[in-house]
Amino acid sequence: MPPKILIIGSGIAGLCTAIKAAKLAPGAEISIVNKSTPDEGATRYAQGGIAAVWSSRDSFDDHKTDTLRAGAGLCNNHAVETCVREGPLRVQELIDLGVKFTRSEGRNTYDLHREGGHSRRRILHADDLTGLEIERALLKEAGAMAGIKILDHHIAIDLITEGKLFRRRSLPGRCLGAYLLDINASRVVTSAADITILATGGAGKIYLYTSNPDVSTGDGIAMAYRAGARIANMEFIQFHPTCLFHPAARNYLVSEALRGEGAELTTLDGEKFMTRHHPMGSLAPRDIVARAIDREIKRTGDKHVLLDCRPIGAAELRSKFPNIYENCLRHGIDITTAPIPVVPAAHYTCGGVLVDENARTTIDGLYAVGETACSGLHGANRLASNSLLEAVVYAHRAASHATGAGRNPPSGDAHELPSKLPDWQSGQAVQLEEQIDIAASWLEIRTLMWNYAGIIRSNRRLERARRRLEILHDEIFADYWNFLPTRDLIELRNILTVAGLIIQSAMLRRESRGLHYSIDYPETDDVHFKHDTVL
């Protein structure tokens, strides 16, 4: 019997998984849950592109070496090998689905960018709107497939597991689906599934400054943790070095590809400071660039630094980066004649739900793909444009495994499964009348995470954040149980959970490695900490 597959998230990872599963298992019932509109997520804002060995001047070994170097000793070698070698096949599938990557002018080849940490040009892109183009093609394909249903304006509240149904605290048992809130109808829906796949993206909204859209609240990570899944490497939060600093700009990322083409980071007085921090200068890996900018801002007292794009040339800037050029122009900045004011911002969650080579979590029937997952590809720091690569590779693997696994009976010696899952129980909960407490708690969590668990950390800062989160936990969970669920309340609960995971992981790693930098432990300690942090 074809499986019922529930995919929570509608970005590149979720859509690729759904499309592949529909092709591999004709007749499968596939539901994609999306808490906003289908195209609203981190994928559409990915400017840079997707990394894959595409040129004869490149090699798998070079891509692997670059990935491992960026990962600071924590990459899973098998995951790196898998993604690098399978990447070109998955990119070709995107092309076959209608993704229009930019071609070199006058030649029948794809234009390849180079970004920070890469030794070769290997970034396929669609001008500077790669994610939007990929999302367009995938949504068109998914919309044309009979077995796929997209549930807009639904948010997952919690996973349903055997452990919860049968009150077995020691083991979560198999995942059986999820409870979903129909946001428009304010109604909780029970969604049973043979296979549940988390593809909810990252958790950038936990921080005060982020390049992420509003939907990036760590929902999948939080739900998986509450269900009993293992979570890994949450201390490694990547801060994108260059987000536009402007009072009217909101979460606008300035692509790393600009630096790949020759743009230079400078202080306000024009000094090219990156050569003082790394031999690769402005093309150093993101963690190094973000810390360098943070140090320069603290040293000078300035609120930002500058990204000088003028070395690229006006014509090339307009042709290669039309979206960035137009967006900056709307904010009064002509990047052909003036530098861009930039600051670092929370950008990518390298840790997440621990998965194996087939995207399986530690809970039967539950998979995780994309930024929600921790496959081991990124280690302690993600190499630029490896995120879309990981999404398409593990989407393929998850769909291939799940369409077979969905036909198997549940494993273990659990009780006989009920023919109908129980409905959501609201108990004595009442309608939430005021939003002030949610707004205040949200701002407090984001502010304390930026100040105490951001780019540079210390024992004192982390401990202060931990203590305050404990107080907030009691307040927020009281509201969660006293009031009927709303999107804001569900997201607040999730960012609190994930913020706690980041703090726990950061306190356990008593060294500096990759994206985790502690002033109390400024050196890397391979003897004690060359391993994943698993919660």
- Calculate ∠ Cα 403-139-250, nearest 5°: 120
The Cα 41–Cα 371 span in angstroms is 12
pLDDT digits (tens, 9 = 90+) for 478-509: 888 888 899 999 999 999 999 999 999 999 99
Confidence bin at 410 (pLDDT 50/70/90): very low
Confidence bin at 106 (pLDDT 50/70/90): low
Confidence (pLDDT) at 43: 76
Task: Report whether 41 contacts 201 (CB < 8 A).
Answer: yes
| Domains, the chain, with CATH or none | 4-235+350-405 (3.50.50.60), 241-346 (3.90.700.10), 436-529 (1.20.58.100)
Percent of the chain's residues with pLDDT above 70:
96
Confidence (pLDDT) at 249: 77
Token pair in block for residue 57 = 């001047």
pLDDT at 409 over 70: no
pLDDT digits (tens, 9 = 90+) for 3-43: 899 999 999 999 999 999 999 999 999 999 999 877 777 77
pLDDT at 415 over 60: no
The Cα 27–Cα 14 span in angstroms is 18
The Cα 86–Cα 51 span in angstroms is 11
Tell me which residue of 112, 71, 117 sits closest to 88, measured CA to CA.
Answer: 112
Instruction: Supply the DSSP symbol for 213.
Output: -
Token pair in block for residue 365 = 């029937």
Task: Report whether 156 contacts 32 (CB < 8 A).
Answer: no
Token pair in block for residue 443 = 């701002």
Confidence (pLDDT) at 405: 52
Confidence bin at 61 (pLDDT 50/70/90): very high
Mean pLDDT over the full length of the chain: 91
pLDDT at 408 over 80: no
pLDDT at 152 over 90: yes
Task: Report whether 13 contacts 198 (CB < 8 A).
Answer: no
Token pair in block for residue 424 = 């959501």
Confidence (pLDDT) at 299: 86
Catalytic site positions = 286
Q: What is the mean pLDDT of residues 70-85?
A: 96
The Cα 465–Cα 277 span in angstroms is 29
Confidence bin at 413 (pLDDT 50/70/90): very low
Tell which wins on pLDDT, 247 or 244: 244
Tell which wins on pLDDT, 167 or 332: 332
Tell me which residue of 366, 400, 491 sits closest to 7, measured CA to CA.
Answer: 366
What pTM value is reported for the model?
A: 0.89
The Cα 361–Cα 434 span in angstroms is 37
Q: Is 7 exposed, middle or buried (0-12, 13-18, 19+ CB in 10 A)?
A: buried
Tell me which residue of 20, 43, 44 sits closest to 141, measured CA to CA.
Answer: 20
pLDDT at 275 over 70: yes
Q: What is the mean pLDDT of residues 175-198?
A: 95
The most distant pair of C-alpha atoms in the chain lies apart, rounded to whole Å, by 71
